[in-house]
């Protein structure tokens, strides 16, 4: 694993842009991405740089691989940012929800190597909740995707809510046999919904519109054949 530079920007509802850059980010470690000191004088969190601004969209890129990005406030995922691998994107994406920035708000990113098999499920619900679930396949079998904040299954975290948007990132490609993406299964193991996968090293990940009610003991899983 290498230390890499993460760059990007966030765009506000007034059209202002917040430039982002952090050097020497360790791949495989979730890191805070600050403003670009070349343009903002000092590197600082997005909330400290532009408190009161409402962020609507953005672009975050890592050079080799990337699993997820989001805006964090006091331990809570406020909004998910769909990340990209450098050179494999053509437009900025809307955040899962607009965020009115407050001092202390941070952009967090998980950069990976190009071959890291971490699968990440980014979701938004009908109640405006944003969450990220991850798991790393190590061969043929079923990998449960768990919440990055508390390691709970999707049914424990989002019971009573309905997924309205989702995006699955994985480099496993043809190894994924769970309908080509992620299965959401109910407490009996029956299929409640499926979410297609994107390989961020070859194609720009995008939100999918879904309608998947979540109840207690539901799971999000990726099944691979190798």
- pLDDT value for 135: 98
The mean pLDDT of 51-71, rounded to a whole number, is 97
d(CA 182, CA 108): 23
- pLDDT value for 91: 86
d(CA 122, CA 208): 10
| 3 state DSSP class of 198 | strand
Pick from 97, 60, 92, 104: nearest CA to 79: 97
The torsion angles phi and psi of 31, rounded to 5 degrees, stand at -135, 155
**Is residue 215's pLDDT more than 80?**
yes
The mean pLDDT of 170-186, rounded to a whole number, is 96
Q: Pull the structure tokens for residue 221.
A: 């899983």
The torsion angles phi and psi of 156, rounded to 5 degrees, stand at -75, -35
**Is residue 209's pLDDT more than 90?**
yes
d(CA 116, CA 186): 28
**Is residue 1's pLDDT more than 90?**
no
Q: Which residue has the tokens 């691989």?
A: 65
Percent of the chain at pLDDT > 90 equals 97
Alpha helices in the chain (DSSP H): 37-40, 46-49, 154-158
């Amino acid at each position: 694993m290498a230390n890499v530079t993460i760059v990007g920007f966030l765009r506000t509802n007034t059209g202002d842009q917040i430039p982002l850059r952090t050097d020497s980010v360790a791949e495989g470690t979730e890191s805070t991405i600050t403003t670009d000191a070349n343009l903002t004088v000092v590197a600082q969190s997005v909330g400290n740089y532009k408190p009161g601004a409402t962020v609507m969209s953005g672009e975050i890129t890592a050079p080799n691989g990337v699993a997820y990005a989001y805006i964090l406030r006091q331990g809570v995922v406020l909004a998910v940012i769909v990340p990209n691998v450098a050179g494999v994107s053509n437009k900025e994406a809307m955040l899962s929800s607009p965020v009115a920035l407050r001092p202390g708000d941070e952009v967090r990113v998980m950069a990976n190597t190009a071959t890291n098999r971490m699968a990440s499920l980014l979701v938004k619900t009908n109640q405006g909740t944003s969450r990220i679930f991850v798991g790393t396949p190590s061969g043929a079998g079923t990998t449960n995707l768990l919440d990055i904040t508390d390691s709970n299954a999707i049914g424990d975290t989002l019971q009573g809510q309905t997924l309205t948007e989702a995006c699955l990132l994985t480099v496993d490609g043809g190894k994924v046999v769970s309908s080509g993406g992620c299965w959401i299964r109910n407490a009996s193991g029956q299929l409640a919904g499926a979410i297609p996968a994107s390989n961020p090293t070859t194609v720009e990940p995008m939100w999918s519109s879904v309608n998947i009610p979540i109840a207690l003991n539901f799971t999000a899983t990726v099944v691979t054949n190798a």
